[in-house]
Structure 1
Amino acid sequence: MDHRIVTALRACGGDPRVAGAARALSWAGEHGALWVAAGLAGAAADGARRGAWLRGTALVAGAHLVSMGVKRVVRRPRPAHVEPLVSTVGRHSFPSSHATSAAAAAVAFGALGAHPVPPLAAAVCLSRLIAGVHYPSDVAAGAALGALTARLGARWMRGGGRD
């Protein structure tokens, strides 16, 4: 099923507009950069909750690092049956680190009222499938890992109720 879904979604990348969007989202999400930038922007714009934004950004970065560690242990190869739209930093696909940091940002920053973050995070997750560099199970596991990390750190992010 994973192979069929990747094949079908990668075919969507045949449209140059879809391919361009998938490439841009993949590039922006590399190493969680989009989400770190969003967290720092939130901290700069929302002085009253600066600490919560910075701790949320730390949760996103921490989730990303955890996913990289899991990836080194699992060592699942990336899909080889489709031509990827983007190059990748590593050879392993499980879990998707893009999905991990995106879901962590959706949960953490969404809790701070950043309503555009969850749909953008979903688009980043989808971009990895359209780009042909992850299986759906990679993205689902990454998203679950990121959401769980942010949820477990939610109280700390809010400063134990002080922010």
Structure 2
Amino acid sequence: MTATPGSPLTRLDHALLRATRRALGETPAVPAARALSHFGEHAVGWLALGAAGWAGGRRRPEWVAGTAGVFAAHAAGVLVKRVVRRVRPDLEDVPPLVATPSRLSFPSAHSCSTAAAAVGFAPMLGGPLMGTALGAMLVSRVLLGVHYPSDVLSGAALGSAVAVAVRRTLLSAT
């Protein structure tokens, strides 16, 4: 997906990217965003949380379904990213604040796996906590200058849909 330069989506993406950096770029949100970036890289933090929940021994089928949803959503995000091949933001006034494993941007795999975690783990950890985590991850990817807002919103939609499907499939089988 290469949005046409000057298209309404491109202009909106650029404006929101710049506004986010202006608003939060000199605040403690930047180190927090970097920490979230490391936590979410390859969905490792969410997968570890799911494993810890399972190891706790309570609600194991739900933890398995949530963790499987995270894994599947991350995989779906990576697959779509390789098909679409949209390049990450490259704005002189919004340089990236964290390294990335690839130059591909759409959809945000961090957003996919975090949305899946929000869907899958909310029954055990609470919707407000997981909703806050999702919102923080979405903003962090834009703040760090590594994704356009349309990347993170699309990633969240894809991750949520995958997680719902995985959860329904696995929990209906038990």
Q: Is TM (by shorter chain) over 0.5?
A: yes
For residues 84-95 of structure 1, the aligned pairs below 5 Å read: 84-95=96-107
Where do 5+ consecutive residues of structure 2 fail to align? 1-11
Deviation for aligned residue 1:79: 0.6
Task: Report 1:53-64 matches (<5 A).
Answer: 53-64=63-74
Percent of residue pairs bearing the same amino acid type: 47
Q: Is the 8 A contact 1:43 1:53 kept in 2?
A: yes
Instruction: State the partner residue of 1:119.
Output: 132
Deviation at 1:57, TM superposition (A): 0.5
Distance apart, 1:89 and its partner CA: 0.6
Match status 1:44 vs 2:55: yes
Aligned residue identity for 1:153: V
Question: Please, which of 142, 149, 152 is the counterpart of residue 162 of structure 2?
Answer: 149
| Structure 1 pair 113–57 and aligned structure 2 pair: CA distance change class (3 A) | same
CA-based RMSD of the aligned residues comes to: 1.4
Asked if residue 102 in structure 1 is aligned to residue 136 in structure 2, the reply is: no
Q: TM-score, normalised by structure 1?
A: 0.91
SS at match of 2:125: coil
Residue 72 (structure 1) aligned with residue 82 (structure 2): yes
**Structure 2 residue identity aligned to 1:52:** E
Aligned pair count reads: 159
* Shift in Å, 1:27: 1.2
- Unmatched tracts of structure 1, length 5 or more: none
Q: Which piece of structure 1 moves more, 32-41 or 138-147? A: 32-41
Q: What is the letter of the counterpart of residue 138 of structure 1?
A: D
